[in-house]
Structure 1
């Protein structure tokens, strides 16, 4: 069964956050913040956020990472593939240091979304610049 675009984007963010063996409170806060401020979520009911995030975790546990990513990416129109990747990167860089598991997951997301390498490099550089401390 296909999921909505907004649910798909949340699934991608949750899977990214959980790729390093758990979702931190800070990662959950970032996901919530992205949902609140990103235009792609303009008509999303925020009261559903927890249920959608839990559904992503449950589906990952029952069907596996590949199934979650395949279903989510199938629900994202091509014109929003760079947006989906940017949201995943925003969640990944929260921890400042990216463990190998998160890097591998971002690579999987990037490859499945088929986003141009120059675009992904720009997204990643922008996220790193925003996360730098003084």
Structure 2
């Protein structure tokens, strides 16, 4: 029996899932994930040294048949409901990090939103905020 995922790990899994959606892990995505983990209050108490293990864990889910469904169940179980929008916002920021969300990333965002029960209006606001934050001059 696998260990229950921690809320911190669940947030990391959502970011890695989004970054890997288009089969290309862009350098901007890796940098952004590391920076968000380092500065955001949601990650207080998370050991950055665990990022590699959590990333590998996420990839392990995705190698399994129906791994995406299992991953999202475990993420939803690990996250307190008040962090659902936080997880979605992190995923949106990662998708926007390289300047444009690809179709596979948009599909993964929809799966994350639905799995975590983030409503359409909050999701639209979160998406708009991510877009605004990731605009280049």
Q: Which residue of 2 aligns with 1:8?
A: 10
Name the TM-score, length of structure 1 as normaliser. 0.93
The residue number in structure 2 matching 1:132 is 135
2:47 and 2:100 map into 1 onto residues whose CA distance is: 32
Output the CA distance in 1 between the equivalents of 2:61 and 2:114: 21
Residue in 1 that maps onto 2:125:
122
Q: TM-score, normalised by structure 2?
A: 0.91
Structure 2: where are the runs of 5+ without partners? none
Structure 1 residue 56: Cα displacement: 1.1
The answer to whether the aligner puts 1:105 opposite 2:128 as a matched pair is: no
Kept in 1, the 8 Å contact 2:93–2:134? The answer is no
Number of equivalent positions: 134
Distance 1:131 1:26 in 2: 11
Query: Residue 60 of structure 1 contacts residue 67 of structure 1 at CA under 8 Å; is this kept in 2?
Result: no
Tell me, in whole angstroms, the C-alpha distance in 1 between the residues paired with 2:33 and 2:93. Answer: 9
Q: Where has structure 1 moved over 4 Å in runs of 4 or more?
A: none
Determine the C-alpha separation between the residues in 1 that align with 2:118 and 2:64.
28
Q: C-alpha root-mean-square deviation of aligned residues, in Å?
A: 1.2
C-alpha distance after superposition, 1:78-133 (max 9, x if no partner): 11111111011111101212111111110111111111221111111111111112
The equivalences for 1:2-81 within 5 A come to 2-63=4-65, 64-81=67-84
Alignment of 1:94 onto 2:110: no
